[in-house]
Structure 1
Amino acid sequence: MMYAVMVGIGTGHQSKSYKLALDMATGLTWMQCAPCHPCLRQYNPVFDPTQSPTFHHVSANDGILCHALYKPHQNGMCGFEVGFLSSHGSASGVLAKDTFSFPKSGHEVRFELLPGMVFGCAHHTEHFNTHEVLAGVLGLGMWKSSKPPTFFTKQINQGEGVRFSYCPFPPGMSTYNFLRFGNDIPSHPLPNVHRQSTPILMPAQANDGYYVKLTGVSVGGIRVSSVTPEMFRRGARGKGGCVIDIGTKMSVFVNEAYIHIESAVRHYLQIHGAQPVQLHGHHLCVHKSSAHRDVLPSMTLHFDNNAGLRVMPEHVFLEIVHANIHYMCIAFFPSLELTVIGARQQINHRFIFDLHARTPTISFNPENCHLDAGTQS
């Protein structure tokens, strides 16, 4: 399961759209550019800067953009390199500017043009899984004043803060939905649907993700008393804490909390007549034949400001087929230090990231996300 956004990059007759993975832990948007070594397979040909009349390199002498995270090259260009923690890979190349275009929602084919957007033109990538469609990454990380204004969220800030929103639907649907900005975000949920919010904490030094205060977890409507807020607290050196990231497939909980959450799920299954089974590579599973909807528990994630994200049973668990036998296994894993609320546990909820300088917040509410979708051609 992977969520990506379609972005037009460049102008002229050769301008094309590219699929970029959503990444909320990094701020710089980057994509493969010709010449590339190696060139990884993607949707549409690799972007060729020579074919776009609005393309410009960022100068090594640019004191605003080319510092801190980036290094001047002897050829006069400004170099960048980003790493991927999940795959221990990297992408490197030079900073550049060009026009980005995003399709607008509605019946007419219209585009929002963003000229002069800074991005990384990657000429070398290692261990980046393109899924044979991805050209790179749209970095939605949270900008802070100590870093250059190359973050996507900083560049689209018109002085009043940035608001963006997404609503992920279940995988396998032949539709797309929208990454919405500003006034294009639904101002209110449907009647009788409650929208909740929790404050965003300042990013850590080494992670540009959206940190929140996770205060506890409930399984099957019962609070797991042994899971405490201290388990998810970020340390003085930036380690630990909890982030919300649609770029992570499934949630991970710091091991200190995970063992209690898994134990609560196991207890719930047993008292409802489902016998846990061992399956290699998975922590807790039951036979699907016994995993009726009323047997599998929901899970509620409790955040600061009395906000609660209720994850439905079908998103707490994941269907696994092994030796032609169908199982339902828990769709979250243990982690050494960082807790991440991943994409599967966000399905069918609208998330709104309001990055006003005074009090940045994340709001969310249940929504049938397939209703905010169009059909792929």
Structure 2
Amino acid sequence: MEITASTLLLLMASVLVHVLPTICATVGGFSLPLVANHGGGTYRVDNDGVVVVNTTNFHHRSSVTGPLEYMYGVAVGVGTGHGKGAYFLVLDTASSLTWMRCLHCLPEQSQYGSVFDPGHSGSYRPLQSTSPLCRPPNPVHPAGHKCSFHLPHGFVGVDTIILGNPTLPIHGIAFGCAQATEAFHTKGTFAGTLGMGRLPTSLIMQIKDCVAWRFSYCLIGQGHSQDRHGFIRFGADIPEPLPLGHHRIKILPTPPHLPHGVADSAYYVKLLGVSLNGSPIPGIHQNMFERRHDGSGGCFVDIGIQVTHLVWAAYTLVENAVAGVLQQWGYERVHDHNFRLCFRQKPAIWSRIPRLTLDFEGPTTRHGERTRAHLEIRSRGLFFNVDNEQLLCFGVYPTTMGHTTVIGAMQQVDTRFIFYLRANTITIHPESCEDDTVPTPSEW
């Protein structure tokens, strides 16, 4: 079989990941449909006071949850000898294994399209335990003659994919074929996860030479038209940023003091500070966001987490600063047992919400000068409506991951992110992301 990816079916490429360096005859580009799956839902509060979405909603991560369904799925087409099937995979920039639920996967859950059957593919084969991919730091391990992965549980296989050009198949792409997915909720739609992290088993690292080491996305948020979808773009399909108005964030290397065989899958960056309406918030220092000697702490960018989570010391200062601005305008803070910071919806309140800016370290210039990058988050990226739109509540949360800060999907909306892995940079610039959408096919 060949996994075909053309327009909306392009995404099986998202599902597969590679074994030996992929050789590309040409460097080009392609785009995969990126669908915003913003659901509503009810909420509850854990015993430790952390707000989590209840079990009727999709939990991609059990360790970090947020109050909203800011989930983005990539539309995938899988071609077999028995026809083509369409699938949706959750986009995750912090994990480095693409996987999907395969035949006989337990527990049984509904999803969009039928469960993938590797037996229908004449070119599918298990990844051997002797493969270079089946060793640290990759998230896969030898299991007899095969290569396995855990959480979810399954085995890794390889197959052929086609990315845009049907005359240039890419062979030997590896991906996980899951047999047990207890902690993964399909929400009636998702078939698995598209891993776009930094380790060799991720999709982008397997096809990096085919797409000039680059991928990009621009996220639409709640309130946008839900009958349109955007794209995750690769290589030459990525629009060039305007000469002015963009910033570059430096992707940090894995610290050398981590244990042997450990490397970062997530895109760690250096967060230097937080500003409100252009002024630094007093008391917030970059050492709050530094990596610790054991690898904990730090800050990374992740589309797979719904909202930004700040370490407690920084979060408290941000919450107080934001609340202070709105209270100065006469808006009364409302207690809500599900959310930490809420205000009653009143006229003009959206225009009074302050701008929050995250300041990052940029790459060093050729003259040795350090640069900075700024991610500005406006009102719709900071607050959301709850309680039938009678309340506005703050969409930034204190971390539940120890000392780690995560820049989540809600705060990335209407900003283009371009990951250039050869240069270890993320270019960001404001953009109306709905301008880069097309109508969603009715069959979805």
Indicate the TM-score class for this superposition, using the shorter chain for normalisation: 0.7 to 0.9
Matches within 5 A, 1:186-205: 186-189=239-242, 194-203=245-254, 205=262
Structure 2 residue identity aligned to 1:116: G
User: 1:72 matched to which residue of 2?
Assistant: 142
How far, CA to CA, are the matches of 1:13 and 1:266 in structure 2? 58
Q: TM-score, normalised by structure 2?
A: 0.75
Specify the SS of the correspondent of 1:259. Answer: helix
User: 2:91 matched to which residue of 1?
Assistant: 22
How far, CA to CA, are the matches of 1:375 and 1:120 in structure 2? 31
Does residue 169 in structure 1 map to residue 202 in structure 2? no
How far, CA to CA, are the matches of 1:325 and 1:93 in structure 2? 43
- The answer (yes or no) to whether the contact 2:212–2:235 under 8 Å persists in 1 is no
Does residue 346 in structure 1 map to residue 412 in structure 2? yes
Match among 77, 97, 106 for residue 158 of structure 2: 97
Does residue 139 in structure 1 map to residue 221 in structure 2? no
Match among 175, 180, 203 for residue 124 of structure 1: 180
C-alpha change, 1:343 and 1:224, in structure 2 (3 Å) is same
Percent pairwise identity: 38
- The answer (yes or no) to whether the contact 2:211–2:236 under 8 Å persists in 1 is no
Shift of 1:8: 2.4
Shift of 1:207: 4.5
Structure 2 residue identity aligned to 1:240: G
Q: TM-score, normalised by structure 1?
A: 0.87
Shift of 1:325: 6.2
- Unpaired runs of at least 5, structure 2: 1-69, 256-261, 362-370
- The answer (yes or no) to whether the contact 2:308–2:409 under 8 Å persists in 1 is yes
Further displaced range: 152-161 or 342-351: 152-161
Matches within 5 A, 1:249-328: 249-290=306-347, 292-304=349-361, 305-321=371-387, 324=388, 326-328=390-392
How far, CA to CA, are the matches of 2:290 and 2:141 in structure 1? 34
C-alpha change, 1:41 and 1:288, in structure 2 (3 Å) is same
How far, CA to CA, are the matches of 1:259 and 1:246 in structure 2? 24
Does residue 218 in structure 1 map to residue 263 in structure 2? no
Specify the SS of the correspondent of 2:292. Answer: coil
Structure 2 residue identity aligned to 1:346: Q
Further displaced range: 274-283 or 92-101: 92-101
Shift of 1:150: 2.1
Match among 65, 81, 91 for residue 12 of structure 1: 81
- Unpaired runs of at least 5, structure 1: 82-89, 105-109, 144-148
Specify the SS of the correspondent of 2:89. Answer: strand
Matches within 5 A, 1:106-125: 114-125=170-181
User: 1:179 matched to which residue of 2?
Assistant: 232
How far, CA to CA, are the matches of 1:53 and 1:113 in structure 2? 15
User: 1:245 matched to which residue of 2?
Assistant: 302
Specify the SS of the correspondent of 1:36. Answer: strand
How far, CA to CA, are the matches of 2:78 and 2:178 in structure 1? 14
Shift of 1:18: 1.5
How far, CA to CA, are the matches of 1:251 and 1:263 in structure 2? 16
User: 1:107 matched to which residue of 2?
Assistant: none
- The answer (yes or no) to whether the contact 2:92–2:197 under 8 Å persists in 1 is yes
How far, CA to CA, are the matches of 1:291 and 1:260 in structure 2? 25
C-alpha change, 1:114 and 1:268, in structure 2 (3 Å) is farther
C-alpha change, 1:101 and 1:161, in structure 2 (3 Å) is closer
Shift of 1:282: 0.4
Specify the SS of the correspondent of 1:158. Answer: helix
User: 1:150 matched to which residue of 2?
Assistant: 201
- Count of equivalent residues: 351
How far, CA to CA, are the matches of 1:118 and 1:252 in structure 2? 32
Shift of 1:225: 1.9
Shift of 1:55: 1.3
Specify the SS of the correspondent of 2:318. Answer: helix
- The answer (yes or no) to whether the contact 1:141–1:208 under 8 Å persists in 2 is yes
User: 1:85 matched to which residue of 2?
Assistant: none
How far, CA to CA, are the matches of 1:116 and 1:292 in structure 2? 54
Specify the SS of the correspondent of 1:364. Answer: strand
- The answer (yes or no) to whether the contact 2:149–2:176 under 8 Å persists in 1 is yes
Further displaced range: 204-213 or 134-143: 204-213
Shift of 1:294: 2.3
Matches within 5 A, 1:345-364: 345-356=411-422, 359-364=423-428
- The answer (yes or no) to whether the contact 2:211–2:234 under 8 Å persists in 1 is no
- The answer (yes or no) to whether the contact 1:9–1:98 under 8 Å persists in 2 is no
